[in-house]
Amino acid sequence: MNHYAAWKNALIVFFLLISSLYAIPNIYGSDLAIQVTGTGDYVVDEVDLDNISTILSDSDVKFKSISIDSRNILVRFGDSQSQLSSKTILNNLLSRNYVVALNLAPSIPQWLGNLGGKAMSLGLDLRGGVHFLLEVDMDAVVSMSIDRYYNELRTLLRKDKLYKKIRKEETFLVVNFKNENLKNDAKKIIKKELPELVSSEVDGSPLDLILKISLKAQNDSKSSALKQNITTLRNRVNELGVAEPIIQQQGLERIVVQLPGVQDTARAKEILGAVATVEFRLVDEKNDVQTAIQSGKIPSGSKIYKFKDGRPLLLKTSVIATGENIVDASSSVDSDNSPMVNISLNNAGGKIMLETTKEFLGARMAVVFIENQVETIIKDGVTTKKRTKTQDIINAATIQGTFSNRFQITGLDSAREARNLALLLRAGSLSAPIEIIEERTIGPSLGADNIQKGFISVLVGFALVLVFMAWRYRVFGLVANVALTLNLITIVSILSIIQATLTLPGIAGIVLTVGMAVDANVLIFERIKEEMRTNKNIQKAISSGYEKALLTIADANITTLIASIVLFSFGTGAIKGFAVTLSIGIITSMFTAIIVSRAMINLIYGGKKNKELAI
Amino acid sequence: MNLKSLNIPVIDFVGRRKYAMIFSAILLIISLASIGFQGLKFGIDFTGGTLIELGYEKTANLEEIRSKLISADFKGTNVQYFGSDTEVLIQLEPQAASSAKLSSSIIRMLGEGIDVRRVEFVGPKVGEELTNDGGLAMLYALIGILIYVAFRFEYRFALGSIAALIHDVIITLGVFSLLQIEFDLTVLAAILAVIGYSLNDTIVVFDRIRENFLATRQVEAGPIVNEALNQTLSRTLMTSFTTLLVLFALFYLGGEVIHSFAGALLIGVIIGTYSSIYVASSTVLAMGISKEDMLPSEKEKKEIDARP
């Protein structure tokens, strides 16, 4: 009676073969590689492949292979030296239509790749990289829309001189009218032209009208700000050259950015968080800044700005062009070897620039660097947001001749600063300030350490359990060991197939499953031993041992599964990884420890007239 | 079934449960007192703050690092070796203006050529959220388990298993508080895993208690529970032993990052094994379980009759 039907055995073997097959990709290592991807809509093709391979051959860089898939060109290298030098070479020679990123490419044989075999994807803690959680300053988004409506309202009501005064508050506008009639007219116009504004009366002052932005309009502008920020962040990440970045919305006001394998994390942080732009303004040459400061009277149409070192200068309030007009920017050095940024403006910006430089030849034009920052501050248990806006003059140079859409910004402190500014201007500015509220960076050396330590601890733990089980349960122990090994293989193959991310806590989950997976076998074997004491028939002992232990195993495993599902739904990154491997391990262990081990026991003892069991 | 005739050592667990209760009570009181007075040493996941792990080529000079930090006016810093004397862990309490930029400026200040192994920054708001989520996770796990056990067994068993779980969690937390081991997100995950594990053990014992109640004419609960404990004893110890084997491997070889995670599991598994033998079944006995409570509903009865 201890016999599985042939089809049942075949099914088990088939299943185990499949899972072994999909676990195989993980035994191949990975190559150091460079991944070249097109930016925006541009998709790399065979021509690019030839081009890159020629560039690398001409520069005497040795590479193992070069290949192309649907979206990327992948160049594999034997050592990191040639990988890194190729990145520099390609970055310099390829146009900005391409993103060149360092990557690790799994070296899976062709046939396995064709079958869809993939290695497990490693989490940031194993391969190194940066995880950022960014929060968009939504209050700033609202106050920016208030600014916008303030301007629109003034234009709208100005033509019939309907209003007397408009006052801007943090989250609403107050309009003051001369009389009821004008107020009623204005209300009608507002309702028609600016339906996003909701009006309400002010107690005690009947000639005032409060205008708020409707909740729906507020939410719309918040969600569009978030989307726009994600787009800008994606542009910036592309500029940094990262393979397989993750940029995702989380909740209503947060963005997760994960950059695997980034080496220069400080730069990544500077670039991602920066809300910077530039403005071009004329210098007020008619008035003296010192007199303005001493008298406290600032000439109308002008404002005091400062250089980084603190020197003041009077600039005109009207702006010639802003960062929004910039279509391209790149950094280089001038003839004196000092850093500069080359700017290209769009048509509108170029036209204004041409007119301005014609009219004000010989006057000075200043470049103002504007940066918005937001920080969360805790004081006496109360969290508040502190916003700072820095406006520094980068330089103020005399307009030597007329120019339109192409010119340079000089006066930058360092090549690094020039490079960062060019990148930020190129990638576009963020529509609202963001703040990094969580950062987890794992350096490449710790990542490698973690893999090694995780691997060794799985191996040692596994070996210890194997030895113990073989000693304690003899033949049955060996059967349990085979089941345990198959369990480990099945876990790895499932993780590979669903491409779940393996993290260090994930490895801990696997280790724990190894310890717990034998539990099912221990339960069964102890039960068989017990049955043998009361009943001398070994066949009956085996079958009733398995049967009686089954319910207990199910109960015990389901409760653990409940705990790990809760872990999964509440946990963040690292904990999720643990919960995933633990849940998968529990399920696969039920299969291997009950069904697979039974099949083996049946093959060994089933139908034979043994009097003794080696248990 | 007579255990003695089967050469199984019979230990009088039920008879000695008074001593176990006193033992548990002492552990619980010490744990609660330590948690109450000394508190847990929460890591930056919960408090917010900055953590930097640096790798030096030679032995790092902690004094030099400390004095540099102090002269740069950083408050509430903790500098220590991490794993070896070439690796340094710097922890910063949340500063007046906490931002992700702090770590960059510290790394720049400490000089070039240092391997930045790990940087973690948790903003104050995130820390608060993680704490709330963690507490909620614990609560939901307990409720989920309570429902499942009540549904599969009987409410007294559910309460018994929850008593054992709370016992395990408090004592594990107590050890973390007493030894002032850092309590971070991974430790929380470990404690939730302990809940799952300890429950696993408890369920196996309960399952046997129920089975024995149904298989015998004896009505007295004490001997039946004791018999179940003895029957499952070797399994309980075997499984705990294999789990401990792999946990020791993790603890000693898994690296500093999961050291406290493995530590929490080690403590939890040991306590969980003890509690599934003594605490869970004692609670069930104290609440007065009897054979009548075990009588299955009609449907279940058929299933049991169908068993060989």
pLDDT in tens, A445-479: 888 888 888 889 889 989 999 999 999 998 999 99
Residues A450 and A590 in one domain: yes
A21: exposed, middle or buried (Cβ count in 10 Å: 0-12, 13-18, 19+): middle
Residues A412 and A464 in one domain: no
Residue A125: closest CA among chain B residues belongs to which residue? B118
Residues A199 and A295 in one domain: no
> Do residue B307 and residue A453 have CB atoms under 8 angstroms apart?
no
* Size (chain B), residues: 308
Structural domain includes residue A614 = no
Q: Is the pLDDT of residue B271 over 90?
A: yes
Out of B115, B145, B258, the one facing A563 most closely (by C-beta) is B145
Q: Which residues does chain B have within 8 Å of residue A593's beta carbon, measured at their own beta carbons?
A: none
Confirm if A497 and A515 have CB atoms less than 8 A apart: no
Of A324-333, A492-501, B30-39, B96-105, the poorest mean pLDDT is in B96-105
Range of A87-101, A210-224, A503-517 with top mean pLDDT: A210-224
- Whichever domain contains A83, its CATH number is 3.30.70.260
Q: Which residues does chain B have within 8 Å of residue A526's beta carbon, measured at their own beta carbons?
A: 232, 234-235, 238
Residues A479 and A357 in one domain: no
Query: B263-281: b or e for each residue (b if 16 or more CB lie within 10 Å)?
Result: bbbbbbbbbbbbbbbbbbb
Distances (CA, A) of A258 to A31, A77, A133, B37, B185: 21, 25, 9, 40, 19
Residues A394 and A418 in one domain: yes
Residues A509 and A579 in one domain: yes
- Whichever domain contains B290, its CATH number is 1.20.1640.10
CA distance A443 to chain B (A): 4
Residue B208: closest CA among chain A residues belongs to which residue? A552
Of A32-36, A454-458, A513-517, B163-167, the poorest mean pLDDT is in A513-517
Residues A96 and A179 in one domain: no
In this prediction, residue A485 has a pLDDT band, given cuts at 50, 70 and 90, of very high
Out of A443, A543, A548, the one facing B116 most closely (by C-beta) is A443
Q: What interface predicted TM-score (ipTM) does this complex get?
A: 0.84
Output the pLDDT for position B25.
Answer: 95
Q: Residue A411: left (phi > 0), alpha (psi -120 to 50), or beta?
A: left
Residues A592 and A458 in one domain: yes
Query: Quick count: other Cβ atoms within 10 Å of Cβ B300?
Result: 11
In which element (H, E) is residue A3 found? none
Q: Which residues does chain B have within 8 Å of residue A125's beta carbon, measured at their own beta carbons?
A: 257
Output the pLDDT for position B298.
Answer: 46
> Do residue B152 and residue A555 have CB atoms under 8 angstroms apart?
yes
Residues A437 and A457 in one domain: no
CA distance B8 to chain A (A): 9
Q: Which of B95, B122, B149 is the last residue of a domain?
A: B122
Q: Which of A441, A470, A492 is the last residue of a domain?
A: A441
Of A85-89, A608-612, B46-50, the poorest mean pLDDT is in A608-612
Distances (CA, A) of A450 to A340, A456, A514, B256, B259: 42, 10, 19, 9, 12
Q: A195: helix, coil or strand?
A: coil
Residues B32 and B178 in one domain: yes
Residues B159 and B242 in one domain: yes
Residues A367 and A290 in one domain: yes
In this prediction, residue A574 has a pLDDT band, given cuts at 50, 70 and 90, of low
* Mean of pLDDT over chain B: 84
Which of B:107-166 have CB within 8 Å of A? 107-108, 115-126, 130, 133-134, 136-137, 140-141, 144-145, 148-149, 152
**Residue in this structure with the two tokens 């998968």, named with its chain if needed:** A584
Out of B101, B134, B144, the one facing A562 most closely (by C-beta) is B144
In DSSP terms, A391 is beta-bridged to A370
Structural domain includes residue A263 = no
Residues B137 and B270 in one domain: yes
> Do residue B99 and residue A566 have CB atoms under 8 angstroms apart?
no
Q: Which of A174, A194, A219 is the last residue of a domain?
A: A219
Output the pLDDT for position B162.
Answer: 86
Give the count of domains, chain B. Answer: 2
Structural domain includes residue A326 = yes
> Mutate which of A270, A503, A551, A552 to test chain B, going by most B C-beta atoms within 10 A?
A552
Residues B34 and B74 in one domain: no
> Do residue B125 and residue A514 have CB atoms under 8 angstroms apart?
no
> Do residue A522 and residue B108 have CB atoms under 8 angstroms apart?
no
Give the count of domains, chain A. Answer: 4
Q: Which residues does chain A have within 8 Å of residue B231's beta carbon, measured at their own beta carbons?
A: 530
Q: Is the pLDDT of residue B171 over 90?
A: yes
> Do residue A516 and residue B197 have CB atoms under 8 angstroms apart?
yes
Q: Which of B73, B97, B122 is the last residue of a domain?
A: B122
Residues A301 and A387 in one domain: yes
> Do residue A523 and residue B253 have CB atoms under 8 angstroms apart?
no
Residue type, B124: P
Q: Which residues does chain B have within 8 Å of residue A505's beta carbon, measured at their own beta carbons?
A: 186, 189, 258, 261
Expressed as residue numbers, the domain containing B159 is 4-41+127-306
Rounded to two decimals, what is the model's pTM?
A: 0.79
Residue A387: closest CA among chain B residues belongs to which residue? B97
Structural domain includes residue A584 = yes
Q: Which of A406, A441, A476 is the last residue of a domain?
A: A441
Which of B:209-248 have CB within 8 Å of A? 211, 231-232, 234-235, 238-239, 241-248
What's the CA gap between A467 and A473, in Å, rounded?
A: 10
Residue A575: closest CA among chain B residues belongs to which residue? B189
> Do residue A567 and residue B255 have CB atoms under 8 angstroms apart?
no
> Do residue A512 and residue B243 have CB atoms under 8 angstroms apart?
yes
In this prediction, residue B295 has a pLDDT band, given cuts at 50, 70 and 90, of low
Q: Is the pLDDT of residue A614 over 80?
A: no
Of A54-63, A463-472, B142-151, the poorest mean pLDDT is in B142-151
> Mutate which of A255, A382, A437 to test chain B, going by most B C-beta atoms within 10 A?
A437
What's the CA gap between A97 and A328, in Å, rounded?
A: 12
Output the pLDDT for position B110.
Answer: 84
- Whichever domain contains A304, its CATH number is 3.30.1360.200
Distances (CA, A) of A131 to A36, A259, B121: 22, 6, 10
State CA A227 to chain mean position distance.
14
**Cα four-point dihedral sign A505, A511, A515, A516:** positive
What's the CA gap between A340 and A415, in Å, rounded?
A: 8
Residues B67 and B134 in one domain: no
Residue A564: closest CA among chain B residues belongs to which residue? B193
Q: Which token pair is A227?
A: 């989307």
By percentage, how much of chain B surpasses pLDDT 90? Answer: 21
> Do residue A526 and residue B235 have CB atoms under 8 angstroms apart?
yes
* Size (chain A), residues: 615
> Mutate which of A445, A529, A564, A570 to test chain B, going by most B C-beta atoms within 10 A?
A570
CA distance B210 to chain A (A): 11
Section A369-375 average pLDDT: 79
Q: Which residues does chain A have within 8 Å of residue B123's beta carbon, measured at their own beta carbons?
A: 135, 376, 435-438
Residues B14 and B108 in one domain: no
Q: Which residues does chain A have within 8 Å of residue B8's beta carbon, measured at their own beta carbons?
A: 533
Residues B117 and B132 in one domain: no
> Do residue B204 and residue A445 have CB atoms under 8 angstroms apart?
no
CA distance A510 to chain B (A): 10
> Do residue A559 and residue B104 have CB atoms under 8 angstroms apart?
no
By percentage, how much of chain A surpasses pLDDT 90? Answer: 15
Q: Is the pLDDT of residue A395 over 70?
A: yes
Section A374-387 average pLDDT: 72
- Whichever domain contains A191, its CATH number is 3.90.1070
In this prediction, residue B174 has a pLDDT band, given cuts at 50, 70 and 90, of very high
In this prediction, residue B198 has a pLDDT band, given cuts at 50, 70 and 90, of confident
Nearest alpha-carbon partner for A356 in A319, A313, A382, A326: A319
Residues B12 and B60 in one domain: no
Residue A469: closest CA among chain B residues belongs to which residue? B242
- Whichever domain contains A475, its CATH number is 1.20.1640.10
Q: Which residues does chain B have within 8 Å of residue A270's beta carbon, measured at their own beta carbons?
A: 104
Taking only the tens place, the pLDDT of each residue in B82-136 is 888 888 999 888 776 657 778 888 888 887 778 888 899 988 888 888 888 888 8
Output the pLDDT for position A2.
Answer: 77
> Mutate which of A250, A262, A378 to test chain B, going by most B C-beta atoms within 10 A?
A378
Taking only the tens place, the pLDDT of each residue in B236-264 is 898 899 999 989 998 999 888 788 889 99
Structural domain includes residue A122 = no
Q: Is the pLDDT of residue B23 over 90?
A: yes
> Do residue A508 and residue B130 have CB atoms under 8 angstroms apart?
no
Expressed as residue numbers, the domain containing A389 is 274-441
Residues B228 and B133 in one domain: yes
In this prediction, residue B1 has a pLDDT band, given cuts at 50, 70 and 90, of very low
> Do residue B140 and residue A462 have CB atoms under 8 angstroms apart?
no
Residues B101 and B54 in one domain: yes
Of A18-32, A179-193, A283-297, A367-381, the poorest mean pLDDT is in A367-381
Residues A200 and A337 in one domain: no
* Mean of pLDDT over chain A: 85
Q: Does B208 touch chain A (CB under 8 A)?
A: yes
By percentage, how much of chain A surpasses pLDDT 70? Answer: 98
Q: Is the pLDDT of residue B300 over 60?
A: no
Structural domain includes residue A283 = yes
Structural domain includes residue A121 = no
Contacts 24+ apart (CB under 8 A), B151-160: B152/A555, B153/B206, B153/B210, B154/B289, B154/B293, B154/B294, B156/B284, B156/B287, B156/B288, B156/B289, B156/B293, B157/B206, B157/B284, B157/B289, B159/B283, B159/B284, B159/B287, B160/B202, B160/B206, B160/B280, B160/B281, B160/B283, B160/B284, B160/B287
Residues B234 and B208 in one domain: yes
Out of B53, B124, B144, the one facing A383 most closely (by C-beta) is B124
> What φ, ψ does residue B132 adopt, rounded to 5°?
-60, -45
> Do residue B245 and residue A552 have CB atoms under 8 angstroms apart?
no
Structural domain includes residue A125 = no
In this prediction, residue A484 has a pLDDT band, given cuts at 50, 70 and 90, of very high
Contacts 24+ apart (CB under 8 A), B68-77: B68/B109, B68/B110, B69/B106, B72/B105, B72/B106, B72/B109, B74/B102, B74/B106
Range of A428-432, A566-570, B69-73 with top mean pLDDT: B69-73
Q: Which residues does chain A have within 8 Å of residue B124's beta carbon, measured at their own beta carbons?
A: 376, 378, 383
Residues B154 and B73 in one domain: no
Structure-derived torsion over alpha carbons of residues B262, B268, B273, B275, reported in degrees to the nearest 10? 180
> Mutate which of A250, A372, A445, A511 to test chain B, going by most B C-beta atoms within 10 A?
A511
Of A24-28, A95-99, A124-128, A581-585, the poorest mean pLDDT is in A95-99
